[in-house]
C-alpha cells in the first residue's frame, strides 16, 4: 500500500489492511503487523529518544491471536500507536 494513511480511524486502518512497522526482539527482525480487531498493544516504555535507528520510541508488548503473536516484545513509533490505539473506544 503506497497511499497516505495518516489521520484515518482504527476501523479504516483495519478495513484497508494497514500494517504497522515494528522490530521484534525475540525474532531479532523487522516485521509488519497487520491492523486487525484482535491486535492488542500495551506500552511498556516511552523513551525520550530513539530506542533504535528507525526512530522507534516505544517498547511495547504485542498480542494478536489471529497472527499467532503472543506476548512479543517489540518497538514501534509512538505516532503509529496513537493512530491505531488512541480513541479506539470513541465509537462505543
Hunting for cell 503472543 — which residue is that?
70
Does pLDDT of 87 surpass 60? no
Q: Where are the domains of the chain?
A: 10-85
What does the pLDDT look like over 43-73, one tens digit per residue? 998 877 777 777 788 999 999 999 999 999 9
Q: What is the C-alpha separation between 29 and 71, in angstroms, rounded? A: 16
The burial of 87, by beta-carbon neighbours within 10 Å (0-12 exposed, 13-18 middle, 19 or more buried), is given as exposed
pLDDT at 71: 97
What does the pLDDT look like over 7-20, one tens digit per residue? 788 899 999 999 99
Yes or no: say if 14 and 84 are a contact pair by the CB < 8 Å rule: no
pLDDT at 1: 42
pLDDT at 92: 41
Yes or no: say if 75 and 51 are a contact pair by the CB < 8 Å rule: yes
pLDDT at 46: 82
Amino acid at each position: 500500500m503506497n497511499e497516505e494513511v495518516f489521520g484515518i480511524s482504527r476501523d479504516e486502518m483495519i478495513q484497508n489492511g494497514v500494517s504497522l512497522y515494528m522490530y521484534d526482539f525475540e525474532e531479532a527482525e523487522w516485521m509488519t503487523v497487520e491492523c486487525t480487531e484482535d491486535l492488542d498493544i500495551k506500552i511498556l516504555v516511552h523513551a525520550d529518544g530513539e530506542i533504535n535507528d528507525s526512530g522507534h520510541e516505544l517498547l511495547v508488548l504485542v498480542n494478536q491471536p489471529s497472527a499467532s503473536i503472543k506476548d512479543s516484545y517489540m518497538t514501534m513509533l509512538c505516532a503509529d500507536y496513537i493512530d491505531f490505539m488512541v480513541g479506539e473506544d470513541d465509537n462505543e
